[in-house]
Structure 1
Amino acid sequence: MEQVITSLIAGAIGGNAGGAVFKNISLGTLGNSLAGIIGGGLGGQLLSAVGAGDIGETLAGATGLDIGSLVQQAAGGGVGGVIVMAVVGLIRSKMS
């Protein structure tokens, strides 16, 4: 469950970062966040599907967190967030 949440949060951050970089296709804070969350979820699922989420070291102790996997989910979610925000922004700008 932590991996899904990490992907979604990273996607929202990635969507807003993409909106800040690509101001001409920005969807606004809410739009960038929503597109980023969708992209983050998709990016995280894609990484899990190819097995990249299984790589990493387990944090010692009772937490059972797989730090390597969380980092990969965050990276995949952030990239997915930027990509979906950019695609939606480009489509919106072409339709206007």
Structure 2
Amino acid sequence: MQFDSLLILLLVGALAGWLSGKIMAGRGFGLLGNILVGIVGAFLAGTIFPALGFAVGGGFLASVIHATIGSVILLFVIGLIRKA
């Protein structure tokens, strides 16, 4: 992986994590936690959505939307686990 693709991955992860923290009413985990949640959420969405036949598209904005949806799902699951 090259440096610029790693930087874009971290930027998309940070933005998606921040957006998902705002959408899920403050369930964020700080800057590094949000980056991690965004990256894991993007991976989660990247594995689940193609199996369901759902595609967002290509480009930076589509990557952020894709990662944000995955991050919201991840934060929802983490919230369910914390309540149990």
TM-score tier by shorter-chain length is 0.5 to 0.7
Count of aligned positions: 77
Q: Is 1:37 the equivalent of 2:26?
A: no
8 Å CA contact 1:42, 1:80 repeated in 2: yes
Residue 36 and residue 14 in structure 1: after superposition, are their counterparts in 2 closer, same or farther (change >3 A)?
same
**1:14-54 deviations in whole A, cap 9, x for unaligned?**
2222223422x32222222212211111112333343737x
Q: Which runs of 5+ in 2 are unaligned?
A: none
TM-score (norm 1): 0.51
Q: Which runs of 5+ in 1 are unaligned?
A: 54-67
TM-score (norm 2): 0.56
Q: Decide which of 20, 23, 27 is 2:22's aligned counterpart.
A: 20
Query: Which structure has the bigger radius of gyration?
Result: 1
Alignment match, 2:77? 87
Q: Sequence identity, in percent?
A: 37
RMSD: 3.4
Does 1 or 2 have the higher relative contact order (CA < 8 Å, sep 6+)?
Answer: 1
Distance in 2 separating the partners of 1:8 and 1:87: 22
